[in-house]
Amino acid sequence: MLCLSSLDKTAPKDQTDTMTFSAIVVAAGSGSRAGSGTPKQWREVGAKPVARWSVEAFFAAGAKSIVLVVPPGDMHLAEEIFRDLKDLAIVPGGAERADSVSAGLSALAGDAPDVVMIHDAARPFLKMVHIQALLADLKHAEGAILALPVADTLKRAQADGAVITVPRDGLWRAQTPQAFRYKTLVDAYAAWPGDSPPTDEAVVIETAGGRVRLTPGDPALMKLTYPEDFYMAEALAGSARVTRVGQGVDAHRFGPGDGVWLCGVKIAGERTLIGHSDADAGLHAITDAILGAIGEGDIGDHFPPTDAQWKGAPSHLFLSHAAELVRRKGGKLINVDVTLICERPKIKPHRQAMRETLAALLDLPVDRISVKATTTEGMGYTGREEGLLAQAIASVETPA
């Protein structure tokens, strides 16, 4: 049973607003129609693999968990591509799409969500508004699917070569994601007759007697099927991402000690920087710059100095947290530039070690890390060697 809904972005809040959802991203096909060479889910669009677009979009939308289903022979490749996303489960798929979806459902069983969304990795331009619309339509049905009305005139070729026109009234093109109440979908799959595999999850629910609503889809949510589709996808990719810049500033005073931590490197000496954590002003400034770029406040919001657990903590924990938030928003860090302002210690002998440490912490090439140093010519608190100042800028690319 299918029915049409409208895309209401101002729908009143109800119990569905507190429902958890997880996603299964199906990337287990061979993609043979997309041409020879690398399977389409691993080909790059907008400088990253096709499958990564959807995974990042679900993380950015607040998915409880995500399962990526891949060909059994591609497990190692997928683990390498997504090595930075620790909360992503990667499982092998089966011979049919339904087998791969079943594998994904089984992977979620240990901590089952209220709602599960099934999405084809070959549709990379998923947006939060699509996910929100599907969740809203689950107020009225057991399932909701994105779909577009058929706009072109339809023709059917006959065996004798004749062509007849097919009425297009009431016909829709199904897209993904398709959203369902998790238990309902699991039970419907268990009751599937089994004479032939289902073509999508909506038909599984329909066959079990469930109600599926049509949620208005998006032409940009195209499926990459043929080689020429990738040219269009590259054009869309340019408009689907934005670059955001954040700034961070941090300062600490000097006190007695055996050295200072700066940008993850300890410089031995007779003084240290005073602070609640290890007082690494360089890492603190970079952390704030990254948090600023994604609109997530500052370091004190995430690691308040009033919390005793952060007393003496290594600042790389704060930096790694900020970088993980970028990934969860479907973004990626582009580059970092930090300036250390002090008379002492001398930064130049340690600058390369700092760059390499930051590159490792942020999973960036060294040439995207800049560490600079300057003095204030004896002026102010840095000139009097009372303290040290760090300023940083970070640029991040995120979904538009």
pLDDT score, position 230: 87
Query: What's the token pair of residue 214?
Result: 């049509």
Task: Kindly report the backbone phi and psi dihedral angles of residue 204, in degrees, each rounded to the nearest multiple of 5, phi listed first.
Answer: -65, -45
**3 band by pLDDT with thresholds 50, 70 and 90:** low
pLDDT score, position 37: 62
pLDDT score, position 180: 97
**161 band by pLDDT with thresholds 50, 70 and 90:** confident
For 313-335, the DSSP string reads --THHHHHHHHHHHHHTT-EEEE
Angstrom distance (rounded) from CA 299 to CA 325: 12
Count of all residues that appear for the chain in the document: 400
Beta strand spans in 108-167 (E): 115-120, 143-149, 154-157, 163-166
**241 band by pLDDT with thresholds 50, 70 and 90:** confident
- The pTM of this model reads 0.64
Q: Is the pLDDT of residue 153 over 50?
A: yes
pLDDT score, position 231: 86
Lowest average pLDDT, out of 158-162, 186-190, 366-370, goes to 158-162
pLDDT score, position 32: 52
DSSP 8-state assignment for residue 311:
T
**8 band by pLDDT with thresholds 50, 70 and 90:** very low
Element (H, E) at 232: helix 229-239
Query: What's the token pair of residue 113?
Result: 């969500």
Angstrom distance (rounded) from CA 258 to CA 271: 6
pLDDT score, position 12: 37
Bridge-based pairing state of the strands 115-120 and 21-26: parallel
Q: Is the pLDDT of residue 343 over 50?
A: yes
- What are the structural domains of the chain? 2-239 (3.90.550.10), 242-399 (3.30.1330.50)
Comparison of pLDDT for 380 and 305, the residue scoring more: 380
Mean pLDDT value of segment 308-325:
94
pLDDT score, position 328: 83
- Whether 292 and 246 have beta carbons less than 8 Å apart is answered as yes
Q: Is the pLDDT of residue 13 over 70?
A: no
Q: Is the peptide bond before 198 cis (omega within 30 degrees of 0)?
A: no
- Type of residue numbered 338: V
- Type of residue numbered 149: P
pLDDT score, position 226: 87
**7 band by pLDDT with thresholds 50, 70 and 90:** very low
Task: Kindly report the backbone phi and psi dihedral angles of residue 235, in degrees, each rounded to the nearest multiple of 5, phi listed first.
Answer: -65, -40
Instruction: Please return the burial class of 154, using the count of CB atoms within 10 Å of its CB with bins 0-12, 13-18 and 19+.
Output: exposed
CA angle 304, 305, 309 (to 5 degrees): 85
Bridge-based pairing state of the strands 212-216 and 2-4: parallel
pLDDT digits (tens, 9 = 90+) for 41-75: 999 888 789 999 999 999 989 999 999 999 999 99
**248 band by pLDDT with thresholds 50, 70 and 90:** very high
Comparison of pLDDT for 210 and 35, the residue scoring more: 210
- Type of residue numbered 205: I
Q: Please give the mean pLDDT across all residues of the chain.
A: 90
pLDDT digits (tens, 9 = 90+) for 253-286: 999 999 999 999 999 999 999 999 999 999 999 9
Q: What is the dihedral of CA 329, 144, 107, 200, to 10 degrees?
A: -120
**30 band by pLDDT with thresholds 50, 70 and 90:** low
Q: Is the pLDDT of residue 28 over 70?
A: yes
pLDDT digits (tens, 9 = 90+) for 224-235: 988 889 888 888
pLDDT score, position 262: 98
pLDDT score, position 9: 33
Percent of the chain clearing pLDDT 70 (strictly above): 93
Mean pLDDT value of segment 92-114:
95
- Type of residue numbered 19: M
